[in-house]
């Protein structure tokens, strides 16, 4: 039996992936988006019920799926469920008392609190709140997408009603699409897990770009970065700049675990750079070896081999110092986490970052350390990168979303300038393709 599914943000980058899939399953799909023109272009004549506002959207729906940005969630919930009911003392007739509501926003704790406030237990005792997180980004890849992709389900307030939990209902929607649906215990646990890609990949990638911006250079134009591993990092770090720029600063600012992650990263990087300047070779050798041991030799070898096969070049002759990767490995050690622990939660663009980390730590650590200490160019590189992490950390700690967005926009203009050899659109395409190959090889 099909359900009535309400989708807010149906014309957005993620929403437009799921509406056709839900229609194909035989569900009644009610769709709304603030971009009315795009909504009609996508769904007129498809069988979707096009709605004019969020209040009309949810009328009679079994489940409400929110594909809207984190800052928009409160106003969408308020429109669906105004504080003054339409019938005195009763439940508004447009929102079912046993509705299942969930948001696809990539930070959960704040969203979950908003949902619980608007869908109050005393007014909606049978309503379930189950958030979810499609981990694939907006790059659809193939016609059967999101087949093989990971979707996390996160119960916020869930229980069986009429024999079925809200999470079970969402699984009924996503499993027929061929997605790998994974359970995460709570919104807080979700954010803590995602602080690794959000803090360890997004912010660190932006720090790498900030380093190039501060130096007025580009990896394509500088021999220090001219190796396959550095090139792969270039692809990965510029991909977010080429896509939906507003998503990343919002995500980082709304996940409370990210701030501590970036602060720790700056501190570890500063410690490593001090050791480089003071020539503490044995201490750096030991740090590298401990990071390798913590991550695991099998994981390192597997990641290096997968990256080499996917990228098509031998990675064992790289010349970078990879001190940024040593800092990342040191963070994993101190946080007592291994990248492999999050394999089932990873997104494609997290996969590439994890593989790069493991590949870097899997090389000749003595050569990496000696290169960092003895070669002036790599000292300069690591110092500039340390400055960049400090810049990003300062902005993130301030909580100023607008300042972070402005900084990323400056980076985007820098890498889009005529003097650069690559445009950001091509970088995004290459990085997405590499991520796809890595993911296929990981599960083959």
pLDDT in tens, 218-242: 666 665 455 566 666 667 677 778 7
| pLDDT (0 to 100) of residue 318 | 57
Segment 147-156, tens digit of pLDDT: 888 899 999 9
Instruction: Please say if the pLDDT value at position 89 is more than 50.
Output: no
Confidence of residue 343 (pLDDT cuts 50, 70, 90): low
| pLDDT (0 to 100) of residue 312 | 67
DSSP-derived letter for residue 35 is -
Say how far residue 396 (Cα) sits from the centre of its chain: 16
CA distance 135 to 71: 19
Q: Are 373 and 256 in contact (CB under 8 A)?
A: no
Per-residue three-class SS string for 44-108: CCCCCEECCCHHHHCCCCCEEEECCCHHHHHHHHHHHCCCCCCCCCCCCCCCCCCCEEEECCCCC
Kindly state the average pLDDT of the residues 306-335: 74
| Closest by Cα among 160, 135, 142 to 346 | 135
Segment 155-209, tens digit of pLDDT: 999 999 989 999 999 999 999 999 989 999 999 999 988 888 788 777 877 887 8
- DSSP sequence for 141-152: -STTTTTT-EEE
* Fold designation for 4-185: Rossmann fold (3.40.50)
| Closest by Cα among 272, 238, 268 to 378 | 272
Please tell me which residue, 421 or 370, carries the higher pLDDT value.
370
- pTM score, whole prediction: 0.87
| pLDDT (0 to 100) of residue 422 | 64
Kindly state the average pLDDT of the residues 324-346: 75
What's the chain's Rg over C-alpha atoms? 23
Cα separations in angstroms, 261 against 188, 197, 349, 395, 398? 15, 10, 19, 14, 14
| Closest by Cα among 200, 377, 211, 378 to 284 | 378
- Domain extents in the chain: 4-185, 189-443
Query: 117 by DSSP, 3-state: which?
Result: helix
State the average pLDDT for the chain.
83
The sheet with strand 180-183 has its strands ordered as: 49-50, 28-32, 4-8, 63-66, 100-103, 128-134, 150-157, 180-183
């Amino acid at each position: 039996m099909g359900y009535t599914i309400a989708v807010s943000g149906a014309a957005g980058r993620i929403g437009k992936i799921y509406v056709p899939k839900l229609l194909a399953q035989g569900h009644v799909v009610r769709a709304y988006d603030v971009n009315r023109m795009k909504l009609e272009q996508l769904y007129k004549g498809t069988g979707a019920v096009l709605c004019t506002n969020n209040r009309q959207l949810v009328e009679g729906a079994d489940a409400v799926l929110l594909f809207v940005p984190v800052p928009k969630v409160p106003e969408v919930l308020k429109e669906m469920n105004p504080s003054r009911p339409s019938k005195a003392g009763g439940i508004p007739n447009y929102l079912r008392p046993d509705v299942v509501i969930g948001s696809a926003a990539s930070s959960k704790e704040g969203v979950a609190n908003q949902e619980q406030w608007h869908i109050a237990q005393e007014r909606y005792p049978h309503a379930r709140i189950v958030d979810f997180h499609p981990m694939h980004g907006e790059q659809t890849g193939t016609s059967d997408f999101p087949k093989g992709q990971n979707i996390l389900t996160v119960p916020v307030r869930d229980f069986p009603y009429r024999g079925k939990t809200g999470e079970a209902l969402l699984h009924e929607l996503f499993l027929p699409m061929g997605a790998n649906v994974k359970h995460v215990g709570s919104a807080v646990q979700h954010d803590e897990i995602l602080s690794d890609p959000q803090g360890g990949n997004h912010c660190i990638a932006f720090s790498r770009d900030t380093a190039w911006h501060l130096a007025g250079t580009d990896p394509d134009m500088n021999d220090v970065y001219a190796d396959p591993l550095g090139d792969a990092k270039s692809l990965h770090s510029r991909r977010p700049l080429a896509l939906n720029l507003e998503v990343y600063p919002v995500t980082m600012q709304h996940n409370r675990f990210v701030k501590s992650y970036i602060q720790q990263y700056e501190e570890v990087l500063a410690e490593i750079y001090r050791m480089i300047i003071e020539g503490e070779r044995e201490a750096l050798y030991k740090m590298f070896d401990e990071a390798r041991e913590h991550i695991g030799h099998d994981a390192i070898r597997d990641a290096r081999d997968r990256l080499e096969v996917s990228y098509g070049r031998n990675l064992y002759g790289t010349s970078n110092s990879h001190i940024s990767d040593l800092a990342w490995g040191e963070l994993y050690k101190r946080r007592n986490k291994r990248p492999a622990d999050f394999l089932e939660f990873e997104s494609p663009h997290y996969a590439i970052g994890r593989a790069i980390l493991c590949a870097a730590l899997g090389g000749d650590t003595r050569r990496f350390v000696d290169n960092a200490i003895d070669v002036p160019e790599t000292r300069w590189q690591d110092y500039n990168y340390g400055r960049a992490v400090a810049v990003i950390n300062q902005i993130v700690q301030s909580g100023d979303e607008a300042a972070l967005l402005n900084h990323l926009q400056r980076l985007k203009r820098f890498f889009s300038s005529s003097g650069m050899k690559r445009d950001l659109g091509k970088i995004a395409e290459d990085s997405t393709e590499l991520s796809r190959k890595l993911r296929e090889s990981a599960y083959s």
